[in-house]
Amino acid sequence: MADKNQLKKDKNEENKLKAIKNTFRNVSLKRIGVCLGLSAIASLAVIAFSNRDNTLSTNKDISKATPQIFEDNSIVKTAKATTPSAAEIAAKEKAALKKKLKIKGFKVKKQMEKKVKLKWKKNKKAKYFEVYRTVKGKNKYKYLGKTKKNSFKDKTAKARKNYQYKIKAHASYQGSDVAGNFSKKKKAYTYPQTPRTVVIGECFVVGMKLYTESMFNKKTLILGKGGLNSLQILQENYFSYKGSSVSAAERAAYHRPDRIVVLVGMNEVRAGNPNATISNFGRLFKLMKKINPKMQMVVLSIPPIGTDTVLSPESKARIPSFNKHYKKFADKKNNVFYCDAPQKLLSDSSGNIKSYANGGDGIHWTGQATADVVSGLKKFCKKNMGTW
């Protein structure tokens, strides 16, 4: 009985399949397109129909196929693969090339009047680079030039200007130019090649004016007084300006310095409190930055002394500690530099002042020692700040 039921079911299925085949045999192209989007039953019909002719591919895009007409006037489309045009390929390749022209590692290596140096990482895809500049506060950038190198020198930069720079790379694609995006802007303040300098200090600075004034540039103001300490620089009116008595700090401010050099501390090691000296340095630096926000400050080390000095051994022993505090102060402040020229150039193997440098009392310098320190200061400034 079960076998008879199964045979009956199979016969019914066979009849259904034949009915489906007959139904789809003579349909038009439009009706086939509709039926192909239907359910699995329609898919079976398409498969049956395609087996007859081997012309229908169910894996292709039928909407863009070439129509085939058969003897019974039924139509089916043979799928055709689409190929991107040459213009589309070129557009994609140009977009990919543009991404590879991104500027990396862009830095300002030197900031000086007529000598601003820009540098960035090499790019093998780039044919050349364009450089642009503007002044802070303005949106319009000026074209400066182009270079095949990964660096550029701005020889037209004026002194004491806040500039902003940006660059972009260019490449060639099938004879046409492809430009990358602009880099991020980089700031540069141009220090003058001949900076206005103020040298402030105690007896050693008095000697600088006496022996070595010609070694400084013509825009240098030297303010020296024997016994001057860091607090007196700020408070005591030891100097004059246009008929009035003013402090060293005030006189320096009138000069509108690009750089100040400070050499004090020998009279402060007696007190043994370097923190007070550092605090006064900080006040002086803050005051000068109100006059020129980009001002540079150089703190010179307290020099060595001899065994024949009037200073006590305890005071002499404090000198290294003071100099460590000076260096630490400079390391923490932007645009503050510690120059160790007095200690480095005038100390003998025992840490005492060299005999040729001893002015006779174990503290003050000879003219030659003064010239050596100024020469060392000059080399330091050129190396670390680019100018003297």
| pLDDT exceeds cutoff 70 at 122 | yes
154-168 per-position pLDDT tens digit? 999 999 999 999 999
| pLDDT exceeds cutoff 90 at 334 | yes
A 10 A CB-CB count for 103 gives 20
Instruction: Please indicate whether residue 192 or residue 48 has the higher confidence score (pLDDT).
Output: 192
Residue 38 main-chain phi, psi, to 5 deg? -85, -155
Contacts of 148 (CB under 8 A, 6+ apart): 127, 128, 129
| pLDDT exceeds cutoff 50 at 247 | yes
User: What is the value of pTM for the model shown?
Assistant: 0.73
- Give CA–CA dist 345/247, Å, rounded: 31
Instruction: Please indicate whether residue 122 or residue 13 has the higher confidence score (pLDDT).
Output: 122
Mean pLDDT, the chain, rounded, equals: 86
pLDDT at 87 (0 to 100): 85
74-118 per-position pLDDT tens digit? 555 555 668 888 888 888 998 999 999 999 999 999 999 999 999
Q: Please, what are the domains in the chain?
A: 2-78 (no CATH), 86-189 (2.60.40.10), 197-385 (3.40.50.1110)
- Give CA–CA dist 252/241, Å, rounded: 10
Amino acid type, 188 = A
Q: Return the structure tokens found at 295.
A: 């001002």
A 10 A CB-CB count for 64 gives 11
Secondary structure string (H, E, C) spanning the chain: CHHHHHHHHHHHHHHHHHHHHHHHHCCCHHHHHHHHCCCHHHHHHHHHHHHHHCCCCCCCCHHHCEEEECCCCCEEEECCCCCCCHHHHHHHHHHHHHHHCCCCCCEEEECECCCEEEECCCCCCCCEEEEEEEECCCCCCEEEEEECCCEEEECCCCCCCEEEEEEEEEEEECCEEEECCCCCCEEEECECCCCCEEEEECHHHHHHHHHCHHHCCCCEEEEECCCCCHHHHHHCCCEEECCEEECHHHHHHHCCCCEEEEECCCCCCCCCCHHHHHHHHHHHHHHHHHHCCCCEEEEECCCCCCCCCCCCHHHHHHHHHHHHHHHHHHHHCCCEEEECHHHHHHECCCCCECHHHECCCCCCECHHHHHHHHHHHHHHHHHHHCCC
